[in-house]
Amino acid sequence: MTTPAFDPKMLEALICPQTRTSLDYDAKAQELISRSANLAFPIRDGIPVLLIDEARTLD
């Protein structure tokens, strides 16, 4: 079974839930990056999980 791919076109409609700024897509890590919040939001089964509690802090 293959994992559904994230459609980068979705970035036009998605924003960081904390700062309301744009997100960057990290295809290798399957994460959406909020540079302003210093957070990385996971993408699971092709679906971005934009919950602050689920995000990891960037190094």
Per-residue confidence (pLDDT) for residue 43, from 0 to 100: 95
3-state SS class at 41: strand
Share of the chain above pLDDT 90, in %: 78
| pLDDT at res. 49 | 97
Q: Which two tokens stand for residue 43?
A: 């993408």
Those residues with Cβ within 8 angstroms of residue 16's Cβ, 6 or more apart along the chain or in another chain: 22, 23, 34, 36, 37, 39, 41, 50
Is residue 3 pLDDT above 70, yes or no?
no
Per CATH, domain 8-57 is 3.40.190.10: no
Domain layout of the chain by residue ranges: 8-57
What average pLDDT does the structure give for the chain? 93
